[in-house]
Structure 1
């Protein structure tokens, strides 16, 4: 009986040892596999996206939008292309543009736009010869709080636009519409089949090869000619005193992007100067946060134009809208725009290769912006800066050049 128990105990011990050995091997194998996976991941993952990946993401959004537009058949969505919403028979003899007679008060900026068209080689006084029609109704500012906002636009349109035809062969200019966070771009009336030339266009609203993205320009933008770019032909050294600068507003009461509220994390008070102020709007003192006083003091220390003309890169973050005046200001100063505005369709982006004059960064990876600018070598910096001047002087230095580029 005792011998039988000893045999059972020996068999049980052998079985236990086999089980331990087999299980240990499995655990060792799994651990090594996981370690290899970890090491592979550690060496392949990067802390930020490179420029090509950002553009690839933009291209994917662009392609998805094209597919969505092709599938869209809803009655409340006008999906236009030049084939479906433009009558080319009106243009068989020549490209002529007709401007409706001005019957109401319009802003000085819109008056300048109409003057440029009326003085151009495209203008015709005969609507029967026109290929394209321009409204005399001021559509530039569709912000309800603006003094230039035109009320009852739909009624005025039906009364004054004799050749409207649901907007076909009409071109609408717009500088202001929509705001943070969803950037609703409704102009406040039914645009029908009209082409929209708009500032701060979002990729989600832009109709490719139909609409036109234009730059946001100020009221005092030169009507003709314009100032030359400030970058000298022998621009050495290539890198300026500062590598990246920004001086502007930040938003403490929910009307602008959160990105600007986080810029202080990147500001180093050395070669990266990113300063903001809360001082704007009537109620900023009542709504200010604990950082406002410190930010305002730092903001007052720096001169805006000095920073722009002494920096290699100028940050162009979204604000209340996707675009800002700073974009053109940076181009003129020969300061490479570092774009921090995901989803923005850049001005004339379908015909201008902006990779030759700008650098994109991703808003979601703000803390990696210093790495982005420091990774651009001197040869490319020199080329980018030179190209800002070419674009500024040929397409953006005056209202005339912006409008004529739009018509072309």
Structure 2
């Protein structure tokens, strides 16, 4: 047995030496040409090779000879200055020599050896493929795992490439302090290995279940979008981390940094308790607010007890979920006395705005105590049943805007700009805040996160504040709003055409909203609005059954 093994080893070594010598002679000219290109700076350095696993398919390449010698291996694709490389990490027991292979006619082999134990030898088999046969980005985005070795420095730009492509980074760079590791838990998005134990990578990746692979890939997308997708976000994240160090008593927890929508949208000055934000109710098992505060924006004087705002206050006050009603008096006329307002079973508070601007309707007033806010225009037409049903729906979607009037956006290819439409179609992307529920945290985010230039634009036009709120909420949640029931008329027709509230009849109103759409998308750098075709109706809504079997009976009569 020993004689047979020695004979086989001698034959194999002779074959390797002959193959290696022929390879060196044939490829010397190509190597010199590549070296000149590298020195001129026209191509990447070998250290910049991006290694990533193509679906982690552990198959021995067909050009490797004597496959019985190789019980374990790892194949992956990498990007090289000469084209795409097919790389195989091969484990050869009992033999201490580089792996042998047949040389393809359209490429050449290169051998890189790793220092392992005497009884176990590992090496890299690299086959340079023609660059026109494979697309680097396609392979990258179709990969489940990406090998991220050290680059010129300790870190590697390939780490960000993997995050962007939703490819799980397999980090092989001992001693590398990962970006923002002070607040980001990278073990939820990457597999951190030891570069000294390279041959354990296949078994580690094979042991990862499908559910965890999905969770890891989702986390890579969240971290990329939240903190690394632009230079502005990287700089802002750095500044926010420094601020948390300085103001440690109001700093964000790691839970906020590692959960949607991320630390940049969880302002610690509002609260450091995750349970106070609408995004974490489901994760923490917290129930949404059981009551709401109605905030009515008023811009016309109170003329009589049959004014639309009076009827609206009476209808909202009858809701069993209403905790209080707040009237924002942004009218130029003096505030009417208390006896002019209707008597209600819930507290009625009238706040006179100091600036009386459109953006002030979303100011985080201290009198708003409940998490749920019902935002209303003074000429909105809603019944008590409609209010109750919309609130029940909001409790299932506390992080979104839930309401009645829906609008949509579209891309105008002829003008290369975004458009705004109020046409009734099969989908929508906005729910106007003239009759909608949302969490009160968005008041704080609207006031302290939106740039002052956009707020000034809204105040100057006296328009678009509802669109801006939809942009903000969609940018945070990455989800569309929720429309409830099929209701076309939600505005009071009794409002006089000369009143300030009749801005919808202004011919410039629609053009201004088109301008706002493009200004807001330019601020964000992308279009956050998401189309939806879902509409939620009460059970048995408009079904041919007895009205006594329906809970919200008045909705169908309107």
Compute the TM-score of the two structures, normalised by the length of structure 1. 0.31
Looking at CA atoms only, which structure, 1 or 2, has the larger radius of gyration? 2
Compute the TM-score of the two structures, normalised by the length of structure 2. 0.23
- Structure of higher RCO (CA pairs closer than 8 Å, 6+ residues apart): 1
Q: Normalized per residue, which structure has more strand?
A: 2
